[in-house]
Chains A and B, each alone.
Chain A
Amino acid sequence: MALIETEAVVLRTLKYGESDAILTLLTPGMGRISAIAKGARKPTSKQGGRLQPGVRLNLSAAEGRGDLLTLRSAQVVDAGAGLWMDGYRLRAAGSVLEIAMRVVPEQVDAEAPYNLITRALALIARTTALDTPPRLDPYVLGVQAKLLAVSGLVPQLGSCAACGGPPPLVGFSAAAGGGVCPSCVIGSGAETLDPAAADALVALLARPLAEAPDAVSAAAAPGVERIAALMLREHLGVTLRSGTPL
């Protein structure tokens, strides 16, 4: 029985049976994988706290007959305790983990998404608590934008995605792959394109994730989220749920 040793982030923990847990993990070398952690939910288990969503681990797991690995051991690289400090950070972390779970495929090289997700979680864990936090977290939007890029889905915003003509772009068509000009928008079913959202998306793609709060204003954030949601739905068939405010 082959033993796999890798770093991983826990994306989701599901109860299984009396005391076991099924983990969905993001790894740099194998993308998304699943593993069973036997006895992890017993109060006496040392593994339980290590296997919560958002925790970064060094793990070893045994390959079985199916796709499900069996967790043998796990050491914490980063517990991400800061993610649990308030509802805002928990929601933001939940959104990042959901994006990874829905967008990163299984069993593929995923070093870039892995680095992006771990960086985002570290940044969210260190965010200063705000009295009135924004509805949409800029790091979450940064992750959405950069995962579009990693997936080869960067929207075309410099010229019309339908005819290649120059700006202005007045609509957004996920089917066409980006912004569309006044001629092409007619009858295309495109949504209105917020220029501030388009600029913010370009800035999010160009700047490091740590600078996401400077790249996107609160006013532009819903437009960025909308563009990312349209692209993910059109091209990957993915609808994100956790971005919805609780």
Chain B
Amino acid sequence: MASILTPSVDALVTELARLPGIGPRSAQRLAFHLLRMPSERPQALADAIAAVVDRITPCTQCFSFAEGDLCPVCADTRRDPTVICVVEEPSAIMSIERTHEFRGRYHVLGGALSPIDGVDPEDLRIVELDQRIERDGVTELVIATNPTMSGEATALFLADRVRDRLKVTRLASGLPVGADLEHADELTLGRAYLGRREI
């Protein structure tokens, strides 16, 4: 069936619908909203997207997002280069930064090991991590891969690889603050029990 939208609006709806969490109806609603706005607002959005596409490159050290060679964290000389937190994707960095607890630097692996899906060690930035460990005299590796089977396999693989050279720690797995025990799922509660600590 031919679209009743003009080609440019149709293209906008199609592109918006590619975004995560946006279905065809939401995409259409957003497109019409943009069309109703004063022209400088959608233009500012278009400019921001174009700027990101033009300027963002992977940080040459940690492979997070950067404008230029280094991302803001790697460029910050106050951050401790001897402690590296390993994450799967750049989005995890934002979550850890919001805690204001970590003062080291990051390393983005670009995924997690999953042989079943064809993701092997050589597909991740593990060699680059090895190079950073040697170059920066890293003393601790904080592994913050996701608490999933592939994230856990990646954490154990990395730990086996570097534990004779430096201290390796893993983010604790357990119960969310403020939640009731009775609402916890069995795997989370089981792992929280196995990882209990003396007080």
- A: which residues have CB within 8 A of B? 12-13, 17-18, 43-44, 46-50, 52-55, 76, 79-81, 84-87, 90-91, 93-94, 97-98, 101, 241-242, 244, 246
Contacts and interface: CB of A to CB of B under 8 A. Distances in A.
A57 to B, nearest CB: 10
A97 B116 CA distance: 9
B1 interface: no
Interface of B: 20-21, 113, 115-116, 118, 120-121, 148-149, 152-153, 156-157, 159-160, 176, 183-188, 190-191, 194
Contact of A241 (B115, B152, B187): B115
Contacts of B159: 87
B44 to A, nearest CB: 25
A84 B152 contact: yes
Contact of A43 (B116, B120, B176): B176
A241 B183 CA distance: 37
A76 B160 contact: no
Would you list the 7 A-B pairs with minimal beta carbon distance, nearest first? A87-B156, A49-B185, A81-B190, A18-B21, A49-B187, A242-B115, A49-B188
A228 to B, nearest CB: 16
A172 to B, nearest CB: 25
Given A54-B149, A94-B153, A246 B115 contact: yes
Nearest to B176: A43
A242 B113 CA distance: 10
Contacts of B185: 46-50, 76
A80 B152 CA distance: 14
Nearest to B191: A81
Contacts of A44: 176
Given A90-B149, A94-B116, A98-B115, 9 more contacts: A13-B148, A46-B183, A49-B184, A76-B185, A79-B190, A90-B152, A93-B149, A94-B149, A241-B115
A202 B191 CA distance: 38
A3 B190 CA distance: 30
A5 to B, nearest CB: 19
Contacts of B153: 87, 90-91, 94, 246
A98 B152 contact: no
A18 B187 contact: no
A241 B21 contact: no
B196 to A, nearest CB: 13
A19 to B, nearest CB: 8
Nearest to A48: B185
25 contacts: A12-B116, A18-B21, A48-B185, A48-B188, A49-B184, A49-B187, A53-B149, A76-B185, A76-B187, A79-B190, A81-B187, A81-B190, A84-B152, A84-B187, A86-B156, A87-B157, A90-B149, A91-B153, A94-B115, A97-B116, A98-B116, A244-B115, A244-B120, A246-B121, A246-B157
